[in-house]
Amino acid sequence: MAENADTSPQEKENSPALANLSGKEFIRAKTRQMPRSPGVYRMLSERGDVLYVGKAKSLRNRLSSYASGKGHTDRTTRMIALVHDIAIVTTETESQALLLEAQLIKRYKPPYNVLLRDDKSFPYILIRTDQEWPQITKHRGAQKIEGHYFGPFASAGSVNKTLNTLQRAFLLRSCSDGVFNGRSRPCLLYQIKRCSAPCVGRVSEDDYKEMVADTKDFLEGRSQKIQRTLSNQMEEASEALEYEKAAAFRDRIRALTSIQGLQEVTANSVREADIIAIHQEAGQTCVQVFFLRGGQNWGNRAYFPRHDKSQEIDEVLAAFIGQFYDNKAAPKMILTSHDFGERGILEEALSLKSNHKVRITNPKRGDKWNVVNFAARNAKDALSLRLAENASHHKLMEELADLFDLDGPPRRIEAYDNSHISGANALGAMIVATPDGFQKNAYRKFNIKSEKLAPGDDYGMMREVMQRRFGRLLKEDPFRELAADERETGKPVQWPDLLLIDGGAGQLSAVREVMEDLGVADIPVVSIAKGPDRNAGRERFFMPDRPPFTIDPKSPAMYYLQRIRDEVHRFAIGSHRAKRAKSITKSVLEDVPGIGPKRKKALLQHFGSAKAVAEAALQDLEAADGISKTFAQKIHDYFHSTP
């Protein structure tokens, strides 16, 4: 691949052909410089933000289609008008371009692309083979440990359910090496028949190896063979009058039967596949992904990708699959509920990435159609539930708008709280609530830095938090463009529609004072004071130019506001405790001016503790490695000077 970040702002200024051009005119002029090779292009706004990432078999031909101005949706027309620059990366093949496109979409999250928002790594089951007595455990992340990996599973719950069954059926150890090596008698898992206690020799090495092999066979789909073997062993034990042993085999058979009874999605003709079903309604989309491995259903997960309402279902599905497999290998077969135009190039790209042939199929009949149809019904049900929740949430936001005299339903609510103990380890906390729930990646902590504040000055702390929060936001976006619709600006909303402050009239006054000084007093502010005896439901609300008021304690709006208040309080208290714990464990050496990690390490190695350093004589300090006479004098003076 070869990257061409093409026109930097300075280069554009120096180019007469591109100076002062934007939108369709800029793209038309830029297209003449484009190669005809495959690659990926990035549409950039005036601020340099990525508006859209696309791939092309021929970059010149693809970009020229934008300049033609024909056949574009309103969404594409809006995007073209915002373009001030284009960056490209050329590739050798179109399939490489498709893989790179998925990576860049995830990196930049452009507002005009279909975005897969919740793409966490999936858990696996790992049978470790780097130990004498293999351990079975849940694993997430890079597969660097030597062993057999089985997955992916849709969720931690799916893994835990399968692990519990495997422990009952095959009795493999799940404990860590430290626990395993330190045992002198069997643990509780042995007592409840979920481990064979290899730690204290209750099972022979050969028998344990056979259990490991059986577990591996079961996870690879050879369950019937294992059940026949266990059934024969149960009969032999029963005929030999070894009833306790026969009962143990019976329990293991029941455990295997129980997990097979949970298989809602199975296909006799499919042993390993991902089933991807999509459903669109009311401009929103749900994608359900089921995982079939070894003929077993290893769970499912629903996704709600972000996209423009005008985008067709096949376009959303193709974009979803490309991003979904960006950080994971695809199985040999992917069954989809809909066909789409880029299926061939996507198969080629996933095969290249996964190092095996990947086939994407849209079945029309038979077992495969049955499992896809089941997944499609799940996608429809999940989207119906989400639409109902969204409608309920919108109604709730309208209720808040009426309560607090807002211009419209709030899209971003910021809540603030302070936490300290007698002024020590003071910090402010901010959380963000949006229509999609609590936006935890937007939470912020503010370590109180002002030395002029009296200990416990809640009003002063709140002033500092507001000054830093909105002072920075004004620097980043002085014209408040980011408060506009994110589809028009290329950035998510950052300016709040409502501020909730934990406190009473005093906190409200402190916040309003700062907001007026910064020129952003038009942002609505509500202060929530705890009710008498701190009873939930009896809170009092304070707003400028309004007398204090209460809300019906049983109203949905009150429950929602309590949730926000409790969440910011939880975040503030948790952050304060972490800061306090860090300060308790902080070495006194860190306060010595000029001391760095190397000198600190040298002193601790020489004296054994920070306390011994503080009490050391000057001559002893000079004897430490890496400590000069001058710096030894500085350390000695710091700890022994008279205040």
Q: Which helix (H) or strand (E) holds 286?
A: strand 284-293
pLDDT band for position 10 (cuts 50, 70, 90): very low
- Mean per-residue pLDDT, 252-263: 59
488, pLDDT greater than 50: no
pLDDT band for position 282 (cuts 50, 70, 90): confident
pLDDT at 633: 87
Give the CA-trace dihedral at 562, 564, 570, 572, to 10 degrees: -120
DSSP structure class, residue 454? P
Contact at 8 Å (CB) between 266 and 368?
no
pLDDT at 183: 84
Contact at 8 Å (CB) between 286 and 279?
yes
Task: Express each pLDDT in 410-421 by its tens digit.
Answer: 999 999 998 876
Gap between the Cα atoms of 558 and 503, Å rounded:
16
487, pLDDT greater than 50: no
Contact at 8 Å (CB) between 322 and 329?
no
Q: Which helix (H) or strand (E) holds 227?
A: helix 223-239
Cross-strand bridge partners of residue 39: 56, 90
pLDDT at 362: 94
**Which of these ranges, 92-101, 228-237, 359-368, has the smallest mean pLDDT?**
228-237
478, pLDDT greater than 50: yes
Chain CA centroid to CA 261, Å: 32
- Mean per-residue pLDDT, 565-580: 85
Contact at 8 Å (CB) between 63 and 41?
yes
Gap between the Cα atoms of 394 and 117, Å rounded:
21
Cross-strand bridge partners of residue 488: none
Domains and CATH numbers, the chain: 2-108 (3.40.1440.10), 124-260 (no CATH), 273-385 (3.30.420.340), 413-583 (3.30.420.340), 588-640 (1.10.150.20)
- Mean per-residue pLDDT, 39-60: 91
SS (H, E, C) 235-250: HHHHHCCCHHHHHHHH
* β-pairing verdict for 85-90 and 39-44: antiparallel
Gap between the Cα atoms of 409 and 441, Å rounded:
22
Give the CA-trace dihedral at 601, 606, 612, 616, to 10 degrees: -110
* β-pairing verdict for 546-549 and 540-543: antiparallel
Compute the radius of gyration of the chain from its Cα atoms.
31
Gap between the Cα atoms of 462 and 459, Å rounded:
5
424, pLDDT greater than 60: yes
**Which of these ranges, 136-145, 477-486, 578-587, 591-600, has the smallest mean pLDDT?**
477-486
pLDDT band for position 490 (cuts 50, 70, 90): very low
- Mean per-residue pLDDT, 64-68: 87
Spell 612-635 as b/e; 16+ CB within 10 A means b.
Answer: ebbebeeebbbebeebeeebbebb
pLDDT band for position 547 (cuts 50, 70, 90): very high
Chain CA centroid to CA 238, Å: 52
Mean residue pLDDT of the chain comes to: 83
Chain CA centroid to CA 147, Å: 27
Chain CA centroid to CA 552, Å: 36
101, pLDDT greater than 90: yes
pLDDT at 262: 46
Task: Express each pLDDT in 622-640 by its tens digit.
Answer: 888 888 888 888 888 887 7
- Give one DSSP letter per residue of 251-314, joined into a string: HHHHHHHHHHTT-SS--TT-SSEEEEEEEEETTEEEEEEEEEETTEEEEEEEE--B--TTS-HH
561, pLDDT greater than 70: yes
Portion of the chain with pLDDT greater than 70, in percent: 87
Cross-strand bridge partners of residue 89: 3, 40
pLDDT band for position 466 (cuts 50, 70, 90): very high
Top pLDDT among 386 and 244 is at: 386
pLDDT at 16: 52
pLDDT band for position 13 (cuts 50, 70, 90): very low
pLDDT at 525: 95
Q: At what angle do helices 205-219 and 223-239 cross, to 10 degrees?
A: 140
Task: Express each pLDDT in 118-147 by its tens digit.
Answer: 666 788 999 998 888 999 999 988 888 999
pLDDT band for position 349 (cuts 50, 70, 90): very high
